[in-house]
Chain A
Amino acid sequence: MGLFLLAVTGITAVLFLLLPGRNLLHGLSLAASAGLLGGAGGLTREVLRQGQVTYPALGGFFYLDGLSAIILDIVLLLGFLVSVYSVGYLEAEFRHGQVDERRLGIYYFLMYAFMFTMMLALTVKNMGMMWIAIEATTLASAFLVGFYNDKLSVEAAWKYVIICSVGIAVALLGIIFLHLSSLSVLNPPQLLDWTALYDQAEALQSPILRLAFIFILVGFGTKAGLAPMHTWLPGAHSQAPSPISALLSGVLLNSALYGIIRTVAIVNKNLGSSAFTGRLLIAIGLLSMATAAIFILTQKEYKRLLAYSSIEHMGIIALAVGIFTPASIFGALLHMINHSLTKSMLFLSCGTVLQKYGVKEIARIRGVLSLLPVSGPVFLLGLFAIAGTPPFSVFSSELSIIGAVFAADRLLLGAVFILLLALVFMGMALSMFRMFYGGPRGKLVRGENNLPGTVVLMLLLAAIAVTGLYLPPDLQQLLLQAQQIIIGGQAHAG
């Protein structure tokens, strides 16, 4: 089943280049993403039952456990929602003459190739293969970032490719050192296998492993948008087409963090304590949050502002992983899910706003609430949600993280954390909220242009509202499984 998912994505990606006709393309995309979502559901059920999904016949190539199942589910769920949204979005773009049919095919091809690489990164056991897949995500999304092919897009795409490729190269150095630290312990078939590395973690050579961790943190951290390697992120996420921004923010950053989390698990098991990794992760997390807080205050474009908000939330997750108690890990994973859903909802509504108004600057937009009867309020509520307002899900995950921080006796850290969250909220409020009120200028017409998209937005809003109050038991069990994988201690469930 798992391989089937990968195969389907790969084949449909290629098909997009061959099929003519917009309706065929849209239809194929919807069918494929729905099928993938169904497949993800099936795999997750199996993971819940058995603890992991792997096919020994392939020599352990395919591997899915609790942690990767969560992230894979986010990928495919958002993939489905984004492809539904894309239908309406691209149709509107087509009507305005921004894209033609060939570009449409290329868009879908690149999007599904991108999804393929992300799925690959999440379903392999071999750290080397994971590295390859994560590098491939950069390459697959490069032309998506530069999709509109104007000056700013090309600049954003160039910075994205260069900075992320260099970052990933640094991560490769880390993987080489990881390999080196395990040479005396593992046999060739098991080299760079995450499960083998984790099982034998204490036997690995600590000093080399420490060096490996630093490089992997810097390398994958570049891809995850952690400061100070974040400089590509605002440009890339603001210049890409909005559905793609949703995928980039909601899904790609998670996949990069996934690599870091896997390594953290090994290193902490080897060193016996989380002091070394914790210090680094907390420092980077705080730096990311602070950078985001500062830059949000001065942003003039709304998509860039949301991109900085992504940096902030990645910093929060890094910080929570750094604390490394069961509660904080649970909070980190939950936050991943919540941030992805909320941020993609925000980017999708940005897309609607952009299509309606045609401008990217905050100052030139007024009266969103009156012009967009559904997307407008969704956007506004989304901004509240991402800043951490109850009853939305981001609030509950941030609360659990704060609780974990205080429970771990890091009072000063908790205080700084709350302060930075408040700063970000203030920044966003000051910048964005005036977009919504007042009357529209010019001759813009009231009404929604992107019907499927609007439905998607409402679905997402419902999701983040509900999960803020109630966590489905299946999801909870999955999160607990993932937590055990990372922290170890108890045996695997099932």
Chain B
Amino acid sequence: MANYLDALSVLILVSSFVLVANKRISSYIATFRLQSLLIALTAGMMGLQSLRLEGRVDVLVVGLLIVSLKVIYIPNLLNRTFAQVEYRVEKDFFLNIPLLVLICCGLVVFSYFSISTIAGINAGTINMQVVNSVSVVLIGLLFMISRKKAIGQMVGFLVIENGLFVTALFSTHGMPFIVDMGIFIDMITAVLIMGILVFRINEKFESINLHELKNLRG
């Protein structure tokens, strides 16, 4: 069982790498969908395990919720929001993609060394799972700051939330149920609000290139 979870946590990490290595907007959304599916799978497996051992259904319910929200609803929402924007492929970057991928690798090493020095998370398997999950958060952050289009920031934010959820899942077997629910509601609302704001940005600035948003500096 622990093997499956290990493999899943690694696949989730790999999906975040694939996200950073991508240039097409439709690929961002598809990779996010894949990652959410993997996370839902993880939550489902842990939920079944906790159901068998402790009789708790909350992790399982949360897993189902992820499937409906992050795998189905949000990617469709993103696709619809960005259907009107002309950009399909991002063309210029601050740092080129191979360098970004190498930096992501550095982030994984960094989170490994930071977390392994903390006593208390030293039980072998949890260690690597937590490191992978925290790395997903850091990679999401890197993704957000390395992209110049608004969709990059939205997807980056969602990846960060994904990473946080897996961290909670692997280290503490999920947060208290009501907290999880609240987090989901927050996240959905945030995505909706960001979507509306992107629409307004597109209206006012005629593009979703965030470099245009430079009037409020200094």
Q: Distance (Å) between the CB of A192 and the closest chain B CB?
A: 6
Other-chain residue from B144, B183, B198, B204 in contact with A166 (beta carbon distance below 8 A): B144
* Residue in contact with B176 in the complex, picked from A128, A149, A234, CB distance below 8 Å: A128
Q: B103-125: which residues lie under 8 A (CB-CB) from chain A? A: 114, 117-121
CA distance A407 to B110 in the complex (A): 40
Compute how far the CA of A303 lies from the CA of B134 in the bound complex, rounded to whole angstroms: 39
Cβ-defined partner of B141 (8 Å) among A128, A142, A166: A166
CB distance from B150 to the nearest CB of A (A): 8
Give A155 to B171 CA distance when docked, in angstroms.
37
- Interface segment, one of B11-19, B27-35, B81-89, B210-218: B210-218
Interface bits B15-26 vs A (CB < 8 Å: 1, else 0): 000000000000
Q: Which of B137, B186, B200 is A149 in contact with, Cβ under 8 Å?
A: B200
Tell me, in angstroms, the Cα distance from A142 to B205 when the chains sit together: 19
Q: Is the CB of A207 within 8 A of B119?
A: yes
* Other-chain residue from A129, A192, A295 in contact with B218 (beta carbon distance below 8 A): A295
- Say yes or no for B182: interface residue by CB 8 A criterion: yes
Digit string of A235-272 for contact with B (CB within 8 Å is 1, else 0)?
Answer: 10011000000000000000000000000000000000
Pair B218/A179 contact, Cβ less than 8 Å: no
Contacts of A234 in B (CB 8 A): 216
The one of B183, B189, B197 that contacts A158, using a Cβ cutoff of 8 Å: B197
| A398 beta carbon closer than 8 Å to chain B | no
Instruction: Determine chain A's interface SS by DSSP, over half rule.
Output: helix
Contact A155-B118, Cβ < 8 Å, known A173-B164, A179-B175, A188-B176: no
Check B182 against A207 for contact (C-beta < 8 Å): no
* Interface residue? B6 (CB, 8 A): no
Least Cβ distance of A364 to chain B in Å?
18
Please determine whether B186 and A135 come into contact, CB atoms closer than 8 angstroms: yes
A159 touching B179, Cβ below 8 Å: no
Sorting the interface of chain A by its residue count into under 10, 10 to 19, 20 to 34 or 35 or more gives 35 or more
Beta-carbon contact of B197 and A192 below 8 Å: no
| Contact (Cβ within 8 A) A154 B204 | yes
A474 CA / B147 CA spacing, docked (Å)? 53
In the complex, the chain B residue whose C-beta lies closest to that of A132 is B182
Q: B36 at the A/B interface (Cβ < 8 Å)?
A: no
Chain B nearest CB, measured from A170 CB (Å): 8
Shortest C-beta distance, B208 to chain A (Å), equals 10
Produce 1/0 per residue, A108-135, CB < 8 A to B. 0000000000000000001011011001
- B192: min CB distance to chain A, Å: 9
Q: Which of B117, B164, B198, B215 contacts A151 (CB 8 A)?
A: B215
Cβ < 8 Å to B, chain A residues 202-244: 205, 207-208, 211, 234-235, 238-239
> In the complex, A293 Cα to B194 Cα: how many Å?
32
Q: How many A-B residue pairs have CB under 8 A?
A: 121
Query: Whole-angstrom distance from the CB of A475 to the nearest CB of chain B?
Result: 33
Contact with B215, one of A131, A155, A173 (Cβ below 8 angstroms): A155
**CB-based contact A129/B182 at 8 Å:** yes
| Residues A158 and B201 in contact in the complex (CB < 8 Å), given A135-B186, A142-B193 | yes
Minimum distance in angstroms from A237 CB to a CB of chain B: 11
Q: Which residues of chain A are within 8 angstroms of B200 by Cβ–Cβ distance?
A: 146, 149, 154
User: Is B97 part of the binding interface, using a Cβ–Cβ cutoff of 8 Å?
Assistant: no
> At the interface, yes or no: B155 with Cβ under 8 Å from chain A?
no
Instruction: Report whether A211 and B118 are in contact in the complex, using a CB–CB cutoff of 8 Å.
Output: yes
Which chain B residues lie closer than 8 Å to A180 at the CB level? 120-121, 171-172
Query: B204 near A169 (CB under 8 angstroms)?
Result: no
How far is B121's CA from A136's CA once the two chains are assembled, in angstroms? 31
Q: Which of A131, A154, A176, A177 contacts B201 (CB 8 A)?
A: A154
For A135, the chain B residues whose CB sits under 8 A away are 186, 190
Which chain A positions have C-beta within 8 A of B114? 211
Asked if B172 and A176 sit within 8 Å, CB to CB, the answer is yes
Taken together as a complex, chains A and B put the C-alpha atoms of A295 and B217 apart, in Å, by: 11
Residue numbers in A under 8 Å from B197 (CB-CB): 142, 146, 154, 157-158, 161
For B186, give its contact among A132, A173, A183, A239 (CB under 8 Å).
Answer: A132
**Do B164 and A139 have beta carbons less than 8 Å apart?**
no
Q: Which residue of A lies closest to B115 (CB)?
A: A211
Closest beta carbon of chain B to A308's beta carbon, Å: 10
- A298 in contact (CB, < 8 A): yes
- Say whether B153 faces chain A, with CB atoms less than 8 Å apart: yes
Cβ–Cβ contact B134 & A173, under 8 A: yes
Q: Are B175 and A128 in contact (CB under 8 A)?
A: yes
* B216 and A126 within 8 A (CB): no
What are 5 A-B contacts defined by CB distance under 8 Å? Answer: A154-B201, A161-B193, A165-B157, A176-B168, A207-B118
Beyond A132-B186, A162-B157, 17 additional pairs, beta carbon < 8 A: A126-B176, A126-B178, A128-B178, A129-B179, A154-B201, A154-B205, A155-B215, A158-B201, A165-B157, A169-B137, A173-B137, A173-B167, A176-B168, A176-B172, A183-B172, A205-B120, A207-B117
